[in-house]
Amino acid sequence: RDKLNNLVLFDKNTYDKLYKEVPTYKLITPSIVSERLKVRGSLARRALSELAGKGLIRQVSAHRSQIIYTRVTKDTDDDQPEGGVVVEKPKKGGGGKSKSKKKADDDAEAE
């Protein structure tokens, strides 16, 4: 197995690439940044928290071992709930009475 030779500190080119490319990714995690920019995982975590602090990316979920970010879109507002708009679908079946209820109602009317 090959040993990874990832950067411990950012150089100028990698730092510029971080600010240019990472905010355009749809899914952003420290693992993805570490793999694509060839930096250590600890450096990727710090870089992502810096980008989130500046408002270039948005945190979606935080777990003990993995934090997930996404790009900031123009129509995203912080006061909207996660997951978008909830639309209630009408129930299928036409809303008619079942056969047993119809028969019970007919029997009640006949008496």
Asked whether the beta carbons of 20 and 49 are under 8 A apart, the reply is no
**Using CA atoms, how far apart are residues 80 and 99, in angstroms rounded to an integer?**
44
pLDDT of residue 102: 61
Q: What is the tens place of the pLDDT at every residue in 58-80? A: 999 988 888 999 998 876 555 55
Residue 68 backbone dihedrals phi, psi, to 5 degrees = -110, 130
pTM score of the predicted model: 0.63
Q: What is the tens place of the pLDDT at every residue in 9-23? A: 999 999 999 999 999
**Using CA atoms, how far apart are residues 56 and 10, in angstroms rounded to an integer?**
18
**Using CA atoms, how far apart are residues 5 and 9, in angstroms rounded to an integer?**
12
Greatest alpha-carbon pair distance for the chain in Å reads 91
**Using CA atoms, how far apart are residues 71 and 24, in angstroms rounded to an integer?**
6
